[in-house]
Amino acid sequence: MQQFLSTTQETEHFGAGLYRSITPPCIVFLRGDLGAGKTTLVRGFLHAAGYSGTVKSPTYNLVEEYELPGRTIYHFDLYRLKDPEELEYLGINDYFEQNSICFIEWPDQGKGYLPAADIEIYLTVRPGGRLAETVYYCGKSQNH
C-alpha cells in the first residue's frame, strides 16, 4: 500500500492511522534515509495513543520507552549501532513482550539479532514530500 505524504502533519496523521490499525505485540521496521520522516511517523502514532510529551529520535540512546495504558511503545534507532551483537547486551529480546509495539529505525543494523517484522514501512523522500509504502506480513516467517 502506498501513500504520498506532502507535509509533516500528513506524516503524523499516517502514524496516527497506524495506532488505530495495529495491536500489540507488533514489530514495525521503519526504513528510509535520514530526514525521511521516521520519527515524525512515530510521533503521530504516540500522540494518537494519548502521549502528550516530547517525542525525540533515540539516535544516541538507541531506544526510547513510552508507557501507555495497556501497552508499552519502544522506539529504536539503530543508525549508530556499531555491531549488531550490541543488541544482545542491550537485552533486545526483553523488549518484544506481549503488550509492546516496537518501532525500529535502521533495522538492517541489527540483522541477525532482531525478530522478523510484522509491518515494514518504507519512507522515500520525493519532490514535494515523501512516499510511504507499507508492507504487512502474515506471521513472522520472514527472517531478518
Residues 16-43: tens digit of each pLDDT: 999 988 989 999 999 999 989 999 999 9
Question: Where residue 138 falls among pLDDT bands split at 50, 70, 90?
Answer: low
> Can you give the pLDDT at residue 56?
82
Contacts of 65 (CB under 8 A, 6+ apart): 72, 73, 74
Residues counted in the chain: 144
pLDDT of res. 140: 44
Give a yes or no: residue 105 inside a domain: yes
Cα 92 from Cα 43, distance rounded (Å):
22
Reading the block at residue 76, the C-alpha cell is: 529504536
142 in a structural domain: no
Please report whether residue 50 resides in a domain.
Answer: yes
Averaged pLDDT, 71-93: 89
Q: Is 143 a member of any domain?
A: no
Of the two residues 144 and 133, the one the predictor is more confident about is 133
Number of structural domains the chain divides into: 1
The CATH number that applies at residue 94 is 3.40.50.300
